[in-house]
Amino acid sequence: MSSTDDPGNGVQQAAPPIAEITETPAPEVATPTGGSDAVTPAAGTPAAPAPADAALPDPAGEPEPPAVPSPAPAPAPPAAPVETVVSDPAQWGRVDEQGTVFVRTADGEREVGSWQAGDAAAGLAHYGRRYDDLATEVALLEARLKAHTGNPAEIKAKAEGLAGSIPAAAAVGDLEGLAARARAMVATAEAAAVEYRAEKAAARAAQVARKEALAAEAEQIAAESTSWKAAGDRLKAIVEEWKTIRGIDRKTDDALWQRFAAARDAFGRRRGAHFAQLDAQRGEARAAKQELITEAQRLSTSTEWGPTSAAMRSLMDRWKAVPRTGRDGDDDLWKQFRAAQDVFFSARAEQDKARDAEQVANQQAKEELLAEAEQLDPGKDLRGAQNALRKIQERYDAIGHVPRAVMRQLEDRMTAVEQKVRGAADAGRVRTAPENPMVASMRAAVTKAEEQLAKAEAAGDERRIDEAQANLATRREWLAEAEKSARR
């Protein structure tokens, strides 16, 4: 019996019985005594045709265009599975006592060979496998036609050959039915061939449209693009994609390539002109930056810290407004310009450091005076306390600036001493009256509004800043009115 392992790998024939057989290929008729058509035991049963023998090559000519614009071709659709064909030869033939093998047809029995190697059932099975091989070949062609793989015109030619050879084949089975299947494929393949030609034409038109789109894109790049690096890379990618598009006639393909090549050349000329102009602009930018470097070097030794700082900031703004001169050249110029500015700002930093040290010393001096003032007791000696406080205040005011962070704290301490002495001098008021609740509430509201403004400024939210400023102004006005009312 024959067997089919896989449609994609072919049909494998089982080993025949080791015995003498005599086969008569159609249309010859074998004699019981044997002769030139006798088959020896070594010959065995011929192997079944592999599906590769029945499979058709791809149509000659241009290759199929890829399904997608990709360098890799689209994978071919998988072959349709073909079921193993196993018939019952006993329904379609017999072996007589002399070993002659017959097949039944609509016109009667026809001799297809002889079997001298064993019992009649084995001989009938041998010729049945031959039929199965033919049926497998027909089924493979049907599967290819159904799956639209291969050229329908070649499938038609193969089917016509089978339709003509099957009725006279040396095999036992439904030869007429199998030949009818082959003839049916001829008509189907004819229609498929028309459809195939239409699909080829549509595929060719699609490939032409792809190249036309690429040529149009290149023309647009040549006319409009100023992203020189990205546009150049895209044109290179178009060339690679162009190579993957096939199936176009030479004349059309050459015309489209000329469009693309012309667009690429135009882009190259425009890019060259741009960089030539850019080189000229870089020369002008270099000259402008060298002038800024010279000016910065002249200001670097100035000790007029405020005006010179403003001038240096102005130079920096002007530097940023000048175009770049190129990566390497611009870095060198920047180092020279920054070095000149660093000379000035380093000197100012040293001056600021000396000033800070002086302010810290002033802070210590004022704190010593405040400690002395806070020891005054106007309750024991009011006049002495007033005179001592006045002298301390004169010495306090004569001391220079202190760090900004402690200025309010020192002033509050001096104010507290002044209030203590002034309160003792006021015989009618033994102690300071408690603050008006309305004033305290308004002052707390002002403090809260100030905190909200600080948070808005830290966040950089312009809308919140405007709202916080308006709210703070309103709260301050209310506080002023409350303080006026409390003094009345």
Q: Are residues 347 and 267 in the same domain?
A: no
How much is the pLDDT for 70? 37
Name which of 249, 155, 159, 264 is nearest 204 in CA terms. 249
Q: Are residues 237 and 293 in the same domain?
A: no
Q: Is the pLDDT of residue 481 over 70?
A: yes
Q: Is the pLDDT of residue 81 over 70?
A: no
How much is the pLDDT for 435? 67
How much is the pLDDT for 212? 92
CA distance 11 to 93: 23
Q: Is residue 255 very low, low, confident or very high in pLDDT (cuts 50, 70, 90)?
A: very high
Q: Are residues 137 and 118 in the same domain?
A: yes
Domain stop point among 255, 281, 307: 281
Q: Is residue 259 very low, low, confident or very high in pLDDT (cuts 50, 70, 90)?
A: very high
Q: Are residues 259 and 303 in the same domain?
A: no
How much is the pLDDT for 482? 80
How much is the pLDDT for 76? 46
How much is the pLDDT for 234? 93
Domain stop point among 226, 255, 281: 281
Pair of tokens at residue 139: 């089924």
Q: Is residue 78 very low, low, confident or very high in pLDDT (cuts 50, 70, 90)?
A: low
Q: Is residue 434 very low, low, confident or very high in pLDDT (cuts 50, 70, 90)?
A: low
How much is the pLDDT for 432? 52
How much is the pLDDT for 62? 36
Q: Are residues 291 and 308 in the same domain?
A: yes
Q: Is residue 244 very low, low, confident or very high in pLDDT (cuts 50, 70, 90)?
A: very high
How much is the pLDDT for 218? 92
How much is the pLDDT for 433? 56
Provide, rounded to the nearest whole percent, the portion of the chain with pLDDT above 70.
80
How much is the pLDDT for 43? 34
How much is the pLDDT for 8? 35
User: Among 24-33, 71-80, 109-118, where is mean pLDDT lowest?
Assistant: 24-33
Q: Is the pLDDT of residue 412 over 70?
A: yes
For 11-61, how does the pLDDT look when each residue is reduced to its tens digit (9 = 90+)? 333 333 333 334 444 433 333 333 333 333 333 333 333 333 333 333 333
Q: Is residue 92 very low, low, confident or very high in pLDDT (cuts 50, 70, 90)?
A: very high
425 vs 284, higher pLDDT: 284
Q: Are residues 387 and 443 in the same domain?
A: no
198 vs 22, higher pLDDT: 198
Q: Is the pLDDT of residue 448 over 90?
A: no
User: Among 131-135, 336-340, 420-424, where is mean pLDDT lowest?
Assistant: 420-424
Q: Is the pLDDT of residue 118 over 90?
A: no
| pTM of the complete model beyond 0.85 | no
Q: Are residues 151 and 26 in the same domain?
A: yes
Q: Are residues 143 and 132 in the same domain?
A: yes
Average pLDDT of 68-74?
39
How much is the pLDDT for 52? 35
17 vs 483, higher pLDDT: 483
Average pLDDT, the chain: 77
Q: Are residues 173 and 54 in the same domain?
A: yes
Q: Is residue 236 very low, low, confident or very high in pLDDT (cuts 50, 70, 90)?
A: very high
Domain stop point among 234, 252, 281: 281
How much is the pLDDT for 208? 93
How much is the pLDDT for 13? 36
Number of domains in the chain: 4
Pair of tokens at residue 372: 């002395």
Average pLDDT of 415-440?
71
In which domain, by residue range, is 440 found? 435-488
Q: Is the pLDDT of residue 235 over 90?
A: yes
How much is the pLDDT for 256? 93
Q: Are residues 111 and 259 in the same domain?
A: no
Q: Are residues 49 and 156 in the same domain?
A: yes
Q: Are residues 254 and 269 in the same domain?
A: yes
Q: Is residue 238 very low, low, confident or very high in pLDDT (cuts 50, 70, 90)?
A: very high
Burial 19-48 (b: 16+ CB within 10 A, else e): ebbbbbebeeebeeebeeebbeeeebbeeb
Q: How far is CA 123 from CA 45, 136, 176, 178, 338, in A?
A: 10, 20, 21, 21, 104
In one-letter notation, the amino acid at residue 55 is A
